[in-house]
Amino acid sequence: MKKILLICFALAAAANVYGWGEKGHNATARIAQKHLSCGAEREVTRLLGGYNMAYWSSWADGLRGDGRYNFLTTWHYANADEGQTYATAPKAPKGDVYTAVVECMERLRDKNSNDSLRAMYLKLLIHFMGDMHCPMHAGYASDRGGNGYQVTFRGRKTNLHSLWDSGLVDGAHVWSAAEWAENIDRRMRRRERRELQAGTPLEWMEQTVVLSHSIYAGTPQDESLSWDYINRFSPLVEEQLLEGGLRLARILNEIF
């Protein structure tokens, strides 16, 4: 019994630092896969051993606790306190989610690198592009990206980080990851899609910081949140998942 309780505690603690949760990462990867060029899809599928991108979308979260991947610990987020931008915020010495995305892109462009290494960085890029677009992965450093910001959501105590990782995704719609991807990847003109894909990873990182700060402003601490909160913020969740997928596809189409 004691062992079971310890396992449950460890899983609950780990959940507080995952971006989007498995469903959100899966949906982002599915959207990206749909918008790959034929050449990019062939190369991505080859490097991933025949599996699709959604299969590997949460792989990076499963590496936590494996000492061989300790260098990835700070690569899932980039915290910026109130009044700071990504550019002005103190940086993690071993890198953050923005530098992780840039690193993965550079590694994938290196055609002299072996396939196993490029495959690893492809799996990481799939995940970190999701993390980059999850607002609380750019939350305040002072409360560990919202982990110390307590709220009550639909009658249960939680924190702002967990709420945005999975609570809103699960609360907004009773959809599977495949349904999320299908329903939010709306039909649009090519020009509109290109507008959503436009920009650089640095610009996308700064956008997420701005969104994060607006969420703090719109989320009263230690108060009860319910359907009105879901209705207000679920469009933002949908937009971030969609943009993360479309921008990931653009990156991979350019690389491959």
- What percentage of the chain exceeds 70 in pLDDT? 93
- Express each pLDDT in 57-78 by its tens digit: 999 999 988 889 999 999 999 9
- Which domains does the chain show, CATH number per domain? 17-255 (1.10.575.10)
| pLDDT for the residue 210 | 98
| pLDDT for the residue 150 | 97
Work out the average pLDDT over 78-97.
Answer: 97
Work out the average pLDDT over 2-11.
Answer: 35
| pLDDT for the residue 65 | 83
Q: CA of 16: how far to CAs of 125, 163, 172, 196, in Å?
A: 21, 9, 19, 29
Predicted confidence band of residue 19 (pLDDT cuts 50, 70, 90):
low
pTM exceeds 0.85 = yes
74 vs 93: CA distance, rounded Å: 9
Residues 6+ apart with CB under 8 A from 18: 58, 61, 76, 165, 166
Predicted confidence band of residue 7 (pLDDT cuts 50, 70, 90):
very low
